Amino acid sequence: MANIKSQKKRILTSRKEKQINTAKRSKVKTAIKKFEAAIMANDLQKAEELLPLTYKVIDEAKSDGIFHINNASRKKARLAKMLDNAQKTVKEA
């Protein structure tokens, strides 16, 4: 345990920040899981509604510094590709 007052305070604030960042990361994962569940259920209308909301959650996490810019872009690209592939399979069937 730290003896210096400023270091004790820094430990407390870093714990709070970690909890906040963990919650935001969890929010992104939950949004992605909801989107993927809509794709797996072949509910393309719901997936199209969830896509911009999921993008928004990812962008918020990116702007808060939780995700690197490229990581956020990759997540968004994968979601768009999933929706595109799902739409193609529906048209073919």
Q: Is the pTM of this model over 0.85?
A: yes
62 domain-assigned:
yes
91 domain-assigned:
yes
Residue whose structure tokens are 């073919």: 92
Q: How far apart are CA 54 and CA 77, in angstroms?
A: 12
- Return the SS3 of 48: helix
Q: How many domains does the chain have?
A: 1
71 domain-assigned:
yes
pLDDT digits (tens, 9 = 90+) for 58-76: 999 999 999 999 999 999 9
pLDDT digits (tens, 9 = 90+) for 29-66: 999 999 999 999 999 999 999 999 999 999 999 999 99
Name the residue range of residue 55's domain: 42-93
